[in-house]
Structure 1
Amino acid sequence: MSQFKIPVHTVHSGILQENAIMLGDRSMKRLKIPAHGTVQLAFGSFRQEVTVIPVPKSENLRVSEGLARRIGWNPRQTLGVSYNSGNRTLRLGPLIGVLVSRDHPNNPDRLFGPITLFCRELTNACHAQGAYVYFFTPEALEQRSSSIQGWVYSEGWRKLSLPIADVINNRLTTRKMENKPSVQHFLADVKSRYGTHFFNEKFLDKTEVFEALGHDPALQRYLPESHALSGFAVLKKMCNHYPSVFLKPVRGSLGKGILRISKDEGGSYRLLSTTPLGTRKQIYPSLTKLFQSITPKMKSTRYQIQQGLPLMELGRRPVDFRALVQKNGTGKWGVTSIVARTAGSNNFVSNLARGGTLSTVREAIGKSSLPPGTKESVQLQLPRAALAIARGVETYIPAHFGELGIDLALDQSGRIWLLEVNSKPSKNDNTPLNDQKIRPSVKQMILYCRYLAGI
């Protein structure tokens, strides 16, 4: 099966009928398509039998305006193309769909809220790589159909009726949206009907991740002791074992709702909690009193209790590392970027949403007080740990992931620990420290989509 990119142009419907296409003879030779035969034109879930008319000394594909309208194509674009002689199918694309939480049609400059710039960036990258991308919300799935109302960008945002995509990336930001019956039914339906690939198909719970990875002896060294906070006995046991412990909402993100508990010299207990204004500190005379104060939270929020770690610090601020691990154009995991994140001045978590700052791994480790002999080795070990953890998630959790945000930490001796795995990594929090127009993470995502689609 031969594949490459080809310019696609539309011509007036009076010149070319919808059941025919014009294809440059050079492209026909490369694709090994017989002249004046019929092929099945495929774009996502769209299929139509067409006659192929060869055009001398041309490399373009030309279709009628009517056919282009039915498919959702622009007048001029470049798309990947492949031909399978076995089933006489001429495929174009890949067609990529991105499932986003909401749109704001009255505000085209921020049509998708804070990820609008990412959506524009992804569109530009698709144009360069011969892919076609559209964006759609759960509301587009309320009515069963073989097409979707999706947004495309071409000199402005437009809403079109488009085929079901070859590959769909789940960028929904809440479990409530993800678990809507219309969303779950759609995903099951398009997988079975069209063979659509759907990646990052679910949120990960913290307890689920640590329990799954604990099955792998090679990964256990990265795992701080963690348990579901089922009651006072678990809290007491962990506080007796460690100078500090963290309580993390099992379904939390962006550092929201994290609690840190430590024992003071006088026997009292200190509770630190994250708030929009920084860290709130409360002192309790006993662990029993502290537990009584957090019990109301436990009625609405499930917590994971985790061993506190003496993290590497810069200026008395804890540092951790966000690795973006993505599948590449051959379907293998690779580390696209790792950045260091230093907590803000009045915070004990490093998320950018909580005032944290970014730096390169080399810069952060170079400024740290880690033993000199370990500084070089940990820079090599961090990406290896991130890759091993990504493979572990894929092995032990039954879901399809194409990218993962993996939060790692170094303790003050240089040992690597896993803090969290995020299946919906922010498109801002993991930005590499440069000003390239199209980030490597976006290019990598398209390469993986092309691999999945086989175009």
Structure 2
Amino acid sequence: MSTPKIDVHIVSSSILSDDVLMLAESLMKTWKITAQQQVYIQFGSFRHAVTFVPVPKFAGLRMSQTLARRMGIFSGTTVRLRFNPVSRTLHMGPLIGVLVSREHPSQTDKPFGDITMFCRELTDACRSQGAYVYFFTPGAIGANLSTVEGWVYTKGWHKLTLPAPDVVNNRLTSRKLENQPIVQSFLKEIKHRYNGKVFNEKFLDKSEVFDALKKDSSLLKYLPESHSLHNVNQLKSMCARYSSVFLKPVRGSLGKGIIRITRVGPESWQASFATVNGTRKQPFNSLTKLFAAIATNMKANRFLIQQGLALIEIGGRPVDFRALTHKNLTGKWTITSIVSRTAGNHHFVSNLARGGTLATVREAVSKSNLPAMHRGDASARLQKASLDIAKGIDTHIPAHFAELGIDLALDTSGRVWLLEVNSKPSKNDNTPLTEGKIRPSVRMIIQYARFISGF
């Protein structure tokens, strides 16, 4: 990208007034900005009329303390610049706001709990790429929707009043928070008033994903038969076709509430319930009785009924795969990582929260019961399926996504299946096994934010 990366220097307001900035002479010549010509400086929703003073042999930008305070900028901030000659506006950015569920102001070293490390990584990645990031909760949105009480990291965490951002990364982990009127109004304001971008703007539920992807004939090969569960006749029909079926809460996560139903005799079935402490099993001599037993669960949650699969196993424990996909600096879907997850003892779901363990795809496949003839290209087929499905979500679901966690499985014949798509993938659950200081997934978020904001 051709937008120059510069450092912002803060000087005393007695030296420089709020409506005068000092800019590298070379940049002023490039953009044909003359001294004393009035232009506008824009940083997210903040817009201010200024004039520029050229500074030879200088590569940055100088502004007064009071102007920096109004913008939420501190000395040493690194940003990119983009000049629009038509509107005579010098854009500074990108200004990225990450919307998180909760904050803990009293915990000065971990104000965001378990995702604080991710927030630090994102801050470091922004500085290296020339972007400015802050973190905020729904309660931090200003009444006029143009300012936010956000957290920034510079020698510790600090809370500042900041402009509404150019780009919002929605990391809310609760539908209740996401659906708050103030949140929806703010996101609408970002898009329509400030021409900003919001990605991962909504949760996906399981029925929505499978119903959408069914429309694409090229994706049908990845989709186990799935239906919204409404009555006992559907249950009987699916159990007649498959030796096992899964009932999954449409809005569940981390394996919570999943029920596996397995035929164990001509007229007998076993229901296995996923719990934190392991699998709870209960026998039934009719599907009518089984359905009646889970009817209470169905009042509180909508369920998807899904074809059971003969997943590959390691030592009798099922294995699946989490692919993390991102849009890159040109807006194209790419695979950031794929890891295998093997279910813990006494569990039939593989989430790390339930005792699952991570491994590389190659390691898991080599230890599994997948026949040797299907092992060689397993990784390539998982990668292709991940990209196909990410593109399918983009095409068939009317929302803006840039990061998806795609859960896949291999059956014992080597076929790839889709289990679930998560639009708010955990920052702990999908960590690549060979991570460096800044994870590729974090760098991708910044690269895509630069792409969609024009920086």
TM-score past 0.5 threshold: yes
Q: Distance between the aligned counterparts of 2:372 and 2:80, measured in 1?
A: 50
Q: Distance between the aligned counterparts of 2:266 and 2:215, measured in 1?
A: 39
Cα shift readout 1:117-141 (whole Å, capped 9, x = no counterpart): 1111111111111111111111123
TM-score for the superposition, normalised by structure 2: 0.98
Cα shift readout 1:103-122 (whole Å, capped 9, x = no counterpart): 11111222112111111111
Look up the match of 1:200.
200
Look up the match of 2:168.
168
1:142/1:182 contact within 8 Å kept: no
Alignment of 1:250-261 (within 5 A): 250-261=250-261
1:2/1:386 CA distance change after superposition, 3 Å: closer
Moved more, 136-145 or 184-193: 136-145
> Is residue 448 of structure 2 the alignment partner of residue 445 of structure 1?
no
- Sequence identity (%): 59
> Is residue 68 of structure 2 the alignment partner of residue 56 of structure 1?
no
Look up the match of 2:128.
128
1:27/1:60 contact within 8 Å kept: no
Look up the match of 2:374.
374
Look up the match of 1:388.
388
Look up the match of 1:221.
221
Q: Distance between the aligned counterparts of 1:141 and 1:2, measured in 2?
A: 33
Look up the match of 2:106.
106
Look up the match of 1:312.
312
2:109/2:157 contact within 8 Å kept: no
1:39/1:89 contact within 8 Å kept: yes
Q: Distance between the aligned counterparts of 1:426 and 1:68, measured in 2?
A: 34
Moved more, 369-378 or 235-244: 369-378
Q: Distance between the aligned counterparts of 2:107 and 2:57, measured in 1?
A: 46
1:2/1:31 contact within 8 Å kept: no
Look up the equivalent residue of 2:200 and give its one-letter code. Answer: N
1:227/1:306 contact within 8 Å kept: yes
Specify the SS of the correspondent of 1:121: helix
Shift, 1:27, TM fit: 3.1
Specify the SS of the correspondent of 1:51: strand
Look up the equivalent residue of 1:251 and give its one-letter code. Answer: R
Look up the equivalent residue of 1:355 and give its one-letter code. Answer: G
Look up the match of 1:85.
85
Specify the SS of the correspondent of 1:404: strand
1:198/1:400 contact within 8 Å kept: yes
Specify the SS of the correspondent of 2:377: helix
1:36/1:54 contact within 8 Å kept: no
1:31/1:82 contact within 8 Å kept: no
Shift, 1:156, TM fit: 1.3
Q: Distance between the aligned counterparts of 2:281 and 2:250, measured in 1?
A: 22
Specify the SS of the correspondent of 1:218: helix
Look up the equivalent residue of 1:249 and give its one-letter code. Answer: P
Specify the SS of the correspondent of 1:441: helix
Moved more, 105-114 or 217-226: 105-114
Look up the equivalent residue of 1:385 and give its one-letter code. Answer: A
2:35/2:51 contact within 8 Å kept: no
Look up the match of 2:272.
272
Look up the equivalent residue of 2:108 and give its one-letter code. Answer: P
2:146/2:163 contact within 8 Å kept: yes
Shift, 1:24, TM fit: 1.7
Shift, 1:26, TM fit: 2.7
Q: Distance between the aligned counterparts of 2:65 and 2:334, measured in 1?
A: 41
Q: Distance between the aligned counterparts of 1:334 and 1:2, measured in 2?
A: 22
Q: Distance between the aligned counterparts of 2:197 and 2:73, measured in 1?
A: 22
1:398/1:292 CA distance change after superposition, 3 Å: same
Q: Please tell me the root mean square deviation across aligned C-alpha atoms, in Å.
A: 1.3
1:2/1:49 CA distance change after superposition, 3 Å: farther
1:271/1:370 CA distance change after superposition, 3 Å: same
Alignment of 1:291-306 (within 5 A): 291-306=291-306
Shift, 1:2, TM fit: 4.9
1:19/1:50 contact within 8 Å kept: yes
2:109/2:156 contact within 8 Å kept: no
Query: Structure 2 unaligned runs (5+)?
Result: none
Q: Distance between the aligned counterparts of 2:148 and 2:49, measured in 1?
A: 22
Q: Distance between the aligned counterparts of 2:438 and 2:200, measured in 1?
A: 21
Number of aligned residue pairs? 455
Q: Distance between the aligned counterparts of 2:425 and 2:66, measured in 1?
A: 40
Q: Distance between the aligned counterparts of 2:145 and 2:307, measured in 1?
A: 49
Q: Distance between the aligned counterparts of 1:145 and 1:375, measured in 2?
A: 53
Specify the SS of the correspondent of 1:436: coil
Look up the equivalent residue of 1:157 and give its one-letter code. Answer: W
Look up the match of 2:210.
210
Shift, 1:8, TM fit: 0.9
Look up the match of 2:115.
115
Shift, 1:315, TM fit: 1.0
Q: Distance between the aligned counterparts of 2:316 and 2:442, measured in 1?
A: 34
Alignment of 1:219-368 (within 5 A): 219-265=219-265, 267-368=267-368
Specify the SS of the correspondent of 1:386: helix
Cα shift readout 1:177-232 (whole Å, capped 9, x = no counterpart): 11111111111122111011001111001011001000000000100000001010
Look up the match of 1:422.
422
Specify the SS of the correspondent of 1:264: strand
TM-score for the superposition, normalised by structure 1: 0.98
1:13/1:66 contact within 8 Å kept: yes
> Is residue 410 of structure 2 the alignment partner of residue 410 of structure 1?
yes
Specify the SS of the correspondent of 2:412: coil
Specify the SS of the correspondent of 1:350: coil
Look up the equivalent residue of 2:264 and give its one-letter code. Answer: D
Query: Structure 1 unaligned runs (5+)?
Result: none
Moved more, 119-128 or 362-371: 362-371
